[in-house]
Amino acid sequence: MNPLLKNVYHLSETIGPRQCGSDNERQAARYIEGKLRSLGIPAERQEFLSIASFSPAQMVIILLSWAGVALLHWLPPLGFLCGAGALCLFILEADTRFSIGQLMPKRQSHNIRGTLNPGRPKRVVITAHMDSSRSGPNFHPKFVKGFRLSFFLLLASLAIVALGAGWSTVRFLQGAPLPSLWIVYAAAVYLLVVFTTLVLREVTGQITPGANDNASGVSVLLETAKTLAGDPPQNLTVEFLATGAEEAGTFGMIHYLDTVGCENRQFINLDNLGSGELFAVTHEGLLWPFAADQALLTAAQEAMLTAPTIPAACRRYHLLTTDASAVLARGGRAVSLMAADSAGILPNWHWPTDTFSNVNSENLIRAKKLTVRMIKILDSKLVAQGDLRRVSGGRQ
C-alpha cells in the first residue's frame, strides 16, 4: 500500500469517524502532528471551541422564522423582527462571517500547523480539514443532486416569511386589516420539512468514516509535506494546516484567520480528492460566488499544462462552504483543489459509504503532483522576480 493510501486508511479505518470535538478527531490531530514532526517540520497545536454540528444552528434559525409566522396576527412588528433576523442569520451563516453556533455550547477542537522554511518573504498555506461529517436525509445519494435547489428553497422560504411579516407590519401600523398571507404559511410548511430533516440528521445520522471527505485531503497534505521537506522551495514559507471543525462550519479555519490573519498568505485548500475528476475551483460558495485567487488559479492551470500526467480541469463548486470559502469571504487569497463526478457532486458525500474502499489511489497521486507542482511554480516566479530586482538594482 502506498503512503497516500496508508494515511487515508489510518484516518478513516484505524481511527474512524472524526466528528468535531471527539476523541477520534483528537487522535487524528496527534497523528498529523507526529507525521509532520517526523519530517523535521516544527508543528504546533491550536486549540479552540466549536459546536459539533451545523444542524442545531440551522434549527434555531428556522425556529426564529416560525416565531415570525406565529406573531403575524398578534404582533406583526415583533414578527417582522423575528423573520428578518432569521433571514439575516442564515445569510451570515452561509457567508461564514457569523454563526449563531458561536452562542451555543461548544466542545474543544484543534488545528495542527506545521511550518517549513520560516522567515521567507512569501507564505503559502496548504490546508485540509481532518474532521468528518454526519449523514442525513439531504445527503442521501438519491437526493444529494438537489442539495443546491433545497438550499435556495430554504432561503426563499425565510425571505417570504420576512417580507410577509414586513407587509403585515405596514398594514398594522396603518390600522388597516391584515392581509391574507397564504404564501407565508406555505413557506412555513417547507421550513417544517427542512427542520424535520435536520432533526433526523442529528438523531439517526451516522458520523461518516470520511475517507474521501477528508482523509484524502489530509493524506495529500502530508505527502506534499514529505516531498517539500526533501526539496524545499527557495523563497516560500510553506505552512501545512490541518483544520478541525470544518464540517461544523469552518470553525478551525476561522480560528486560524482570527489568530494570524490572511495577509501575505495564499491558501491551497485540499478537499474531497479521492474520487472523481480532479479540478481547481474557479468560484465557490453557496449563496454568492467567491472567485479564487487568480495567481493561484494560474499556477494550477500552468501545473496542469506542463504536467500531462495530471489530468485536471477548472470549474465552479457551489455546494457547502469549504475552508477556502472562509478565506475568500474575508478578502484573502485562496483556491480549492477538489474532485467530483460528471454531475459536479462529491462522491459518497456525507454518507456512510465514504469509506477507504471507495478512494482511488490514482486520484491522490495526481492531486499530490498538482499541489507540489503549484508550489514549485509559485516559488520559481518569486525567484525570477528576485533576479529581476537584482538586475535592476545593478543598473541603477
Residue with cell 514529505: 226
Same domain, 293 and 216: yes
Give me the residues paired with residue 127 across strands: 241, 269
d(CA 37, CA 231): 16
Residue 289: inside a domain: yes
- pLDDT single digits (tens) 245-264: 999 999 999 999 999 998 88
Render 65-123 in DSSP notation, one character per residue. HHHHHHTTTT-HHHHHHHHHHHHHHHHHHHHTS--GGGGS--EEEEEEEEEESTT-SEE
* HEC string for 27-80: HHHHHHHHHHHHCCCCEEEEEEEECCCCHHHHHHHHHHHHHHHHCCCCCHHHHH
d(CA 280, CA 358): 21
Tens of pLDDT, residue by residue, the chain (396 residues) = 899 999 999 999 999 999 999 999 999 999 999 999 999 999 999 999 999 999 999 999 999 999 999 998 889 999 999 999 999 999 998 888 888 888 888 899 999 999 999 988 889 999 999 999 999 999 999 899 889 899 999 999 999 999 999 999 998 888 888 777 899 999 999 999 999 999 999 999 999 999 999 999 999 999 999 999 999 999 999 999 999 999 999 999 999 999 999 888 999 999 999 999 999 999 998 888 999 999 999 999 999 988 777 878 999 999 889 999 999 999 999 999 999 998 889 999 999 999 999 999 999 999 999 999 999 999 998 766 654 333 333 322
CATH of the domain at 37: 3.40.630.10
The residues near 278 (Cβ < 8 Å, ≥ 6 apart) are 310, 311, 312, 313, 337, 338, 339, 363, 366, 367, 370
Distance of CA 190 to the CA centre of its chain: 26
Residue 309: inside a domain: yes
Residue 395: inside a domain: no
Same domain, 189 and 250: no
Which among 179, 204, 229 is the end of a domain? Answer: 204
C-alpha cell at 95: 457567508
Residue 326: inside a domain: yes
Same domain, 25 and 79: no
Same domain, 258 and 281: yes
Same domain, 274 and 368: yes
Q: State the total domains in the chain.
A: 2
Same domain, 48 and 176: no
C-alpha cell at 147: 442539495
Which among 204, 235, 252 is the end of a domain? Answer: 204
d(CA 68, CA 61): 11
Closest CA to 217 of 339, 47, 66, 44: 339
Same domain, 235 and 316: yes
- pLDDT single digits (tens) 2-39: 999 999 999 999 999 999 999 999 999 999 999 999 99
Same domain, 19 and 115: yes
Residue 124: inside a domain: yes
Write the single-letter amino acid at 36.
L
**Residue 121 φ/ψ region, left for φ over 0, alpha for ψ in the -120 to 50 degree band, beta for the rest:** alpha
Kindly list the distances between the CA atom of residue 63 and the CA atoms of 53, 87, 201, 222, in Å, as whole numbers in the listed order: 17, 11, 17, 42
pLDDT of residue 337: 98
pTM: 0.92
Domain that holds residue 172: 61-98+141-204
d(CA 363, CA 216): 9
Give me the residues paired with residue 115 across strands: 239
Residue 153: inside a domain: yes
Residue 103: inside a domain: no
Same domain, 16 and 71: no
Same domain, 131 and 145: no
Which among 150, 176, 204 is the end of a domain? Answer: 204
Same domain, 270 and 336: yes
